[in-house]
Amino acid sequence: GSTFCRLTGFHGAHVLRGPIMLIVMWLRSATGHCTRDNHFGFEAAAWYGNFVDVVGLMLFLFVYVL
């Protein structure tokens, strides 16, 4: 039981971190920090979100299905 709570809690914390990163990137782009050539932070936040989604799918598969 504690493993399930730990896995879902860690995943939830990482899911919460994703929108925070995107809000920070939105603020940075609104102030001109992100340009066509300098946008690594936004790209990293997008990759992070995709990674968290894949981990969430794996958690669903291994915790609920199997």
User: CA–CA separation, 48 vs 54, rounded Å?
Assistant: 10
What's the domain range around 53? 2-65
Cα distances from 5 to residues 12, 36, 65, in angstroms, run: 10, 41, 16
pLDDT at residue 1 greater than cutoff 80: no
Angle between the 2-30 and 40-59 helix axes, to the nearest 10 degrees? Answer: 160
- For 40, half-sphere exposure in the C-beta direction (CA atoms, 13 angstrom radius) is 1
User: In which residue are the tokens 């920070």 written?
Assistant: 24
The number of distinct structural domains making up the chain is 1
Q: Is the pTM of this model over 0.85?
A: no
SS3 at position 1: coil
- Condensed to tens digits (0 to 9), the pLDDT of residues 14-64 reads 999 999 999 999 999 999 998 889 999 999 999 999 999 999 999 999 888
